[in-house]
Structure 1
Amino acid sequence: MTTILLIDDDPATLEVINECLLPHFRTRIATRGGKGLELAQLSPAPDLVLLDLELPDMNGYQVCSALKRDTRTAEIPVIFLSSHTDMADIIRGLELGAVDYVPKPVAPPILLARVRTQLRLRQAQIYLADRNLHLEALVRERTHALEARTLDLQRSQELTIVTLGAIAETRDNETGNHIRRTRAYVRTLVEYLLQQPAQLERMPIEEWELIWKCAPLHDIGKVGIPDQILLKEGPLDVGEFEIMKRHTTLGRDALREAECGGDTQHPFLRIASEIIYSHHERWNGKGYPEGLSGENIPFAARLMAIADVYDALISKRVYKPAMPHHKAVEIIVQGRGEQFDPLIVDCFLVCADTFDTIATGNSDNAPPQPIADTSLATGLIRGPSQPG
Structure 2
Amino acid sequence: MTTILLIDDDPATLEVINECLLPHFRTRIATRGGKGLELAQLSPAPDLVLLDLELPDMNGYQVCSALKRDTRTAEIPVIFLSSHTDMADIIRGLELGAVDYVPKPVAPPILLARVRTQLRLRQAQIYLADRNLHLESLVRERTHALEARTLDLQRNQELTIVTLGAIAETRDNETGNHIRRTRAYVRTLVEYLLQQPAQLERMSIEEWELIWKCAPLHDIGKVGIPDQILLKEGPLDVGEFEIMKRHTTLGRDALRAAECGGDTQHPFLRIASEIIYSHHERWNGKGYPEGLRGEDIPFAARLMAIADVYDALISKRVYKPALPHHKAVEIIVQGRGEQFDPLIVDCFLVCADTFDTIATGNSDNAPP
Query: If the TM-score is normalised by the length of the shorter chain, which range does it land in?
Result: over 0.9
Q: State the Cα deviation string for residues 197-252 of structure 1 (Å, max 9, x = none).
A: 11111111121111111111100000000000001111111111110000000000
Q: State the Cα deviation string for residues 119-178 of structure 1 (Å, max 9, x = none).
A: 111111112222222232233233333311211210221122122112111100111011
Please, which runs of 5 or more residues in structure 1 have no aligned partner? 369-388
Moved more, 224-233 or 124-133: 124-133
Question: With structure 2 as the length reference, what TM-score do the two structures score?
Answer: 0.98
* Cα 1:204–1:358 shift into 2, 3 Å: same
Residue 351, structure 1, aligned to residue 351, structure 2? yes
* Secondary structure in 2 matching 1:27: strand
| Paired residue total | 368
Match of 1:123 in 2: 123
* Secondary structure in 1 matching 2:144: coil
TM-fit CA distance, 1:355: 0.5
- Is the CA contact 1:136–1:262 (under 8 Å) kept in the aligned structure 2? no
Match of 1:145 in 2: 145
Residue 93, structure 1, aligned to residue 93, structure 2? yes
Q: How many Å separate the matches in 2 of 1:292 and 1:351? A: 26
Match of 1:77 in 2: 77
TM-fit CA distance, 1:367: 1.7
- Is the CA contact 2:248–2:277 (under 8 Å) kept in the aligned structure 1? yes
Question: With structure 1 as the length reference, what TM-score do the two structures score?
Answer: 0.93
TM-fit CA distance, 1:331: 0.5
- Is the CA contact 1:131–1:156 (under 8 Å) kept in the aligned structure 2? no
- Is the CA contact 2:256–2:264 (under 8 Å) kept in the aligned structure 1? no
Q: State the Cα deviation string for residues 272-327 of structure 1 (Å, max 9, x = none).
A: 11110010011111111111111111111110000000000000000100011111
TM-fit CA distance, 1:101: 0.2
Match of 1:225 in 2: 225
* Cα 1:203–1:142 shift into 2, 3 Å: farther
TM-fit CA distance, 1:259: 2.6
Q: How many Å separate the matches in 2 of 1:138 and 1:332? A: 46
* Cα 1:59–1:338 shift into 2, 3 Å: same
Task: Report runs of 4+ in structure 1 exceeding 6 Å deviation.
Answer: none
- Is the CA contact 1:136–1:263 (under 8 Å) kept in the aligned structure 2? no
Moved more, 144-153 or 7-16: 144-153
Counterpart mapping for 1:184-223 below 5 A: 184-223=184-223
- Is the CA contact 2:133–2:260 (under 8 Å) kept in the aligned structure 1? no
Q: How many Å separate the matches in 2 of 1:281 and 1:263? A: 25
* Secondary structure in 2 matching 1:80: strand
- Is the CA contact 2:264–2:270 (under 8 Å) kept in the aligned structure 1? no
- Is the CA contact 1:248–1:276 (under 8 Å) kept in the aligned structure 2? yes
TM-fit CA distance, 1:263: 5.0
TM-fit CA distance, 1:260: 4.1
Please, which runs of 5 or more residues in structure 2 have no aligned partner? none
- Is the CA contact 2:251–2:276 (under 8 Å) kept in the aligned structure 1? yes
TM-fit CA distance, 1:113: 0.7
- Is the CA contact 1:132–1:262 (under 8 Å) kept in the aligned structure 2? no
Q: How many Å separate the matches in 1 of 2:303 and 2:188? A: 10
* Secondary structure in 1 matching 2:75: coil
Q: How many Å separate the matches in 2 of 1:223 and 1:5? A: 21
Q: How many Å separate the matches in 1 of 2:32 and 2:263? A: 41
- Is the CA contact 2:313–2:323 (under 8 Å) kept in the aligned structure 1? yes
Q: How many Å separate the matches in 1 of 2:345 and 2:10? A: 57
Q: How many Å separate the matches in 1 of 2:327 and 2:107? A: 43
TM-fit CA distance, 1:118: 0.6
* Secondary structure in 2 matching 1:145: helix
- Is the CA contact 2:256–2:262 (under 8 Å) kept in the aligned structure 1? no
- Is the CA contact 2:132–2:260 (under 8 Å) kept in the aligned structure 1? no
Q: How many Å separate the matches in 1 of 2:273 and 2:142? A: 26
* Cα 1:262–1:98 shift into 2, 3 Å: closer
Moved more, 118-127 or 324-333: 118-127
- Is the CA contact 2:49–2:77 (under 8 Å) kept in the aligned structure 1? yes
Q: State the Cα deviation string for residues 45-101 of structure 1 (Å, max 9, x = none).
A: 000000001111111111111111111111110000001100011011111111100
Q: How many Å separate the matches in 1 of 2:166 and 2:322? A: 24
- Is the CA contact 1:16–1:108 (under 8 Å) kept in the aligned structure 2? yes
Q: How many Å separate the matches in 2 of 1:92 and 1:20? A: 27
TM-fit CA distance, 1:262: 4.8
- Is the CA contact 1:259–1:265 (under 8 Å) kept in the aligned structure 2? no
Moved more, 39-48 or 138-147: 138-147
- Is the CA contact 1:50–1:78 (under 8 Å) kept in the aligned structure 2? yes
Q: State the Cα deviation string for residues 101-121 of structure 1 (Å, max 9, x = none).
A: 000010111101100111111
Moved more, 83-92 or 144-153: 144-153
TM-fit CA distance, 1:258: 2.3
